[in-house]
Amino acid sequence: MERIPARRSVAVRVARGQRVEVVNTHGQQVVDTWAFATGDPAEWMSMEHSRVHMGRLSPRVGDSLVTNRRRAILTLVEDTSGGVHDTLLAACDRYRYQLLGATEPHDNCTDNLHAALAAEGIALAATPSPLNLFEHTALAADGALAIEPPVATPGSHVTLGAEMDALLVFSACPQDLVPTNGAGLTPTDAHYRLVR
Amino acid sequence: MERIPARRSVAVRVARGQRVEVVNTHGQQVVDTWAFATGDPAEWMSMEHSRVHMGRLSPRVGDSLVTNRRRAILTLVEDTSGGVHDTLLAACDRYRYQLLGATEPHDNCTDNLHAALAAEGIALAATPSPLNLFEHTALAADGALAIEPPVATPGSHVTLGAEMDALLVFSACPQDLVPTNGAGLTPTDAHYRLVR
């Protein structure tokens, strides 16, 4: 098992056909997830294109997420976490924490993404909206959204299958001002491993 | 009244405090809408940031949409259309029509956006997810999404207030293969005017 350090990100290269297991080690940690086509990082996994493709808000086992060119890039092949994930909310960023009252610089998933990409020699002019694994966005009948603690249990996981060669970035979300990462407001490590 | 030609786009510059009325002239036409901060087109209206800011899927009268830097850019100040708009679905693009079976090039909102920006001297490396005015995305309790004909009536409108100097792009969606623009599958003109 490889570590996704609390508040930090990792980049993982996968080949088509490989699978990655993402483990919610402590059970309340959201993992912001991005995927980019190898060789052309301007082709990325897109939540707005994936919702059209899936015909639903959020992936279920068997659903594929697609890129901004509508090609399958990842498939959710297994999910022991309760199946609650978010495709609606932007990655946290410096502006989010400023608006929440932070007066000091705060770790954030947007900077984590760009740091992980920079380490791979990639500069990206935009921040794609992430697949927020394990994030529990409660949706009321009138369309109101609320961020709730994850339903995932410790050690539960999702398995993502690569539909093309891709660069993945996982960020263990540093959110500690709202209950994205549980009522305890305490970001923790998560883990991943290449299954095959 | 200025025309937004069927299947085409227009760019409109607005100053902070100005209002733009967007009219669904024939009642079944979706208008994909983008907004960019004047002077820095890398700051754009973002649906994923706006959902966090609004705490809801779609704007109601009084709600502001924010940029990818979480600054208010547009406010929905009036809505006589029935209040049904979409923030979930990507703009249509060449890939969408290919997947729907089109064998010839098809007008699409993504190319319309970039053409309108190019005419303003702006090249953008990404396609922000649009505010799909009048688009009726039905959402089932289990998260399933379906594209339904608009509920807007002929001549109904929304009024958008500019919270900063901005460049707006409106695209009268060319979708004629699924009922985005009504059961008749017939894209039509829409109109807009600067109210003040």
- Angle A176-A182-A185 (CA atoms, 0-180°, nearest 5)? 25
Size of interface A-B (CB pairs under 8 A): 84
Coil vs helix vs strand at B194? strand
The answer on pLDDT for B186 being more than 90 is yes
**Residues A74-86 pLDDT 10s:** 999 999 999 999 9
Put simply, the chain A residues between 86 and 125 with a CB less than 8 A from any chain B CB are 88-90, 93, 95-96, 99, 125
**Residues B26-37 pLDDT 10s:** 999 999 999 999
Of the partner residues B57, B99, B143, the one whose CB lies closest to the CB of residue A56? B143
The answer on pLDDT for B196 being more than 80 is no
Question: Considering only alpha carbons, which residue of chain A is nearest residue B85?
Answer: A143
In which residue are the tokens 């085409």 written? B8
Q: In chain A, what percentage of residues exceed pLDDT 70? A: 100
Question: Above 0.95 for ipTM, yes or no?
Answer: yes
Of the partner residues A51, A69, A125, the one whose CB lies closest to the CB of residue B145? A51
**Strand ranges (DSSP E) for A45-165?**
64-66, 72-79, 131-133, 136-139, 145-148, 156-162
How high does pLDDT run on average in chain B? 97
Tell me how crowded residue B191 is: count the other CB atoms within 10 A of its CB. Answer: 20
The phi-psi region of residue A122 (left if phi > 0; otherwise alpha if psi is between -120 and 50; otherwise beta) is beta
The answer on pLDDT for B75 being more than 90 is yes
The answer on pLDDT for A121 being more than 80 is yes
Pair of tokens at residue A55: 């015909």
| Mean pLDDT of all residues in B49-58 | 98
Predicted local confidence at residue A196, as pLDDT: 76
Q: Report yes or no: B113 and B171 within 8 Å, Cβ to Cβ.
A: yes
How high does pLDDT run on average in chain A? 97
pTM over 0.95: yes
Q: How far, in Å, CA of A185 to CA of B187, rounded? A: 49
Q: A144: which chain B residues are within 8 Å (Cβ-Cβ)?
A: 55-56
Q: How far, in Å, CA of A194 to CA of B9, rounded? A: 45
**Residues B142-172 pLDDT 10s:** 999 999 999 999 999 999 999 999 999 999 9
Coil vs helix vs strand at B119? helix
A141-178 b/e with 16+ CB inside 10 Å = b? Answer: eebebebbbbebeeebbbbbbbbbebbbbbbbbbbbee
